[in-house]
Chains A and B, each alone.
Chain A
Amino acid sequence: MKLVLLLWIMGVIYAVLYIVPPAEGLGELVRIAFFHIPVAWVSVLAFLLSAGWSIQYLRTRDIQYDWKSSAAASLGLLFCLLATISGAIFAKLTWGAYWNWDPRQTSIFILLLIYGAYLVLRSSIQEEKERARISAVYALLSFLTVPFLVFIIPRFYFSLHPEPVINSGGKLEMDTIMIYVLLAAVGACTALFWQCFSYMVHNKQKSA
């Protein structure tokens, strides 16, 4: 399983470096996108999963869900940091500044803040059950900002960010080969996330 994942990631890296053609206007820089998009996708996915497991915890009071929620959030923070940094580098190379509070940058910054707040909250409560309950409540509460981040900011404010792959028109403006490589990269990144995630949860189960 791990070997397959490793080969897959190597394959994607090879494809991104040697097969994908340079894009119109962006040139070689487009290769960053094959790192940036999957990582950003995983950081949002981890947030959704973490909130989902928080609901599960509050309903069932099974501590396993709390471990899952916490593991997803810590990995989410890592992926979110990677997405922010790769995005900032891309922004510097194409727009000329690392950071200018573009709507997308605001969104990912709020996501980063939420992850940070959630993890700080967890570290400040000693008792296990209480920590699980209180942090689950906070995870749900912070979920309120999601509609704002996803729907309102990118639609209502002017943005320099390239159109998302799944845009409002529903049409794809990419080369077929690029789409396949991008999908493979997203898959690889999600699988990597899942692998790390199961490892963390498994460790927790062993130590408990």
Chain B
Amino acid sequence: MPTIRLNLLNCIWAIMMKDGLCEFRTRYAVSALFMFALISLASISMSIGAASLPADLTAALLWVLLFFCAMAGLSRVFVQEEESGTIIALQIYGSGQAVLFGKLLFNILMLLSLTMLIIPLFIIFLNVDIYHWPIFIVVLILGDIGIAAASTITAAVVAKTQGKNALFTVLTFPILLPQFLSSISATAKILMNVKPDISDILFMAVYNVVLMIASSIVFDYLWYD
């Protein structure tokens, strides 16, 4: 047993650092995600050539790209623990809430760093102009948090099933959809040089909070048999 009693915040931090360290050692998820993003972006750009896309289509492409990148890698936080058998150790030492929020934080950070890599490439390849940078960044951060929040809890759901990866996308999509549609419409407005309404941003923020509260409520049922 650990001799130092950690409070919840320290536990969350410790779990995030553990996942970060594991990821840093193998660099599997980050490189797979990045290559996936690069390939899909390049294939889109190659196939359309010099033609410019309408703003709403570009916005949809950006979010579809981010969504499928997330689907390619974010389930790892729980699936990896289950496959290597380390989940039991985690169940003994970590409390449910600390594990959930630690993994969630790790996923958010991973998705945000991926976004930081994708956005410049996206601007270069698809030749888009972004008019309202501060709002665009807010929309990106909120959208990423939403994708991470939805996929962390569904990762915990799929960890014990067969055919984890195929199921992961199927389960995450309906839960994420409300948030996903509003990220697309807000991004499309930004690309069309229209400021999105405050209600769009507010809706995304509220949905994120609701997602996190709901996952925190149901997670204990998954974590403790």
Contact = CB atoms under 8 A, between A and B. Distances in A.
A111 to B, nearest CB: 9
Interface in A108-145: 110, 113-114, 116-117, 120-121, 124-126, 130, 133-134, 136-138, 140-142, 144-145
Interface residues of A, number: 24
Interface string B199-223: 0000100010011001100100110
B215 A141 contact: yes
Contact of B222 (A116, A133, A144): A133
A137 to B, nearest CB: 5
A134 B174 contact: no
B157 A134 contact: yes
A136 B221 contact: yes
A155 to B, nearest CB: 12
B174 A117 contact: yes
Main secondary structure on B side of the interface with A: helix
| Chain A CB within 10 A, most for which of B154, B161, B225 | B161
Given A125-B161, A136-B221, A144 B167 contact: no
A117 B177 contact: no
Interface in B155-174: 157-158, 160-163, 167, 170-171, 173-174
B222 A110 contact: no
B224 to A, nearest CB: 10
B167 A124 contact: yes
A144 B175 CA distance: 7
B183 to A, nearest CB: 14
Contacts of A138: 154, 157, 171
A121 to B, nearest CB: 6
B218 A130 contact: no
B203 to A, nearest CB: 8
A152 interface: yes
A140 B174 contact: no
B157 A137 contact: yes
Interface of A: 58, 110, 113-114, 116-117, 120-121, 124-126, 130, 133-134, 136-138, 140-142, 144-145, 148, 152
Given A121-B171, A125-B162, A141-B175, 12 more contacts: A113-B174, A124-B161, A124-B162, A137-B157, A138-B157, A140-B218, A141-B215, A144-B175, A144-B211, A145-B175, A148-B207, A152-B203
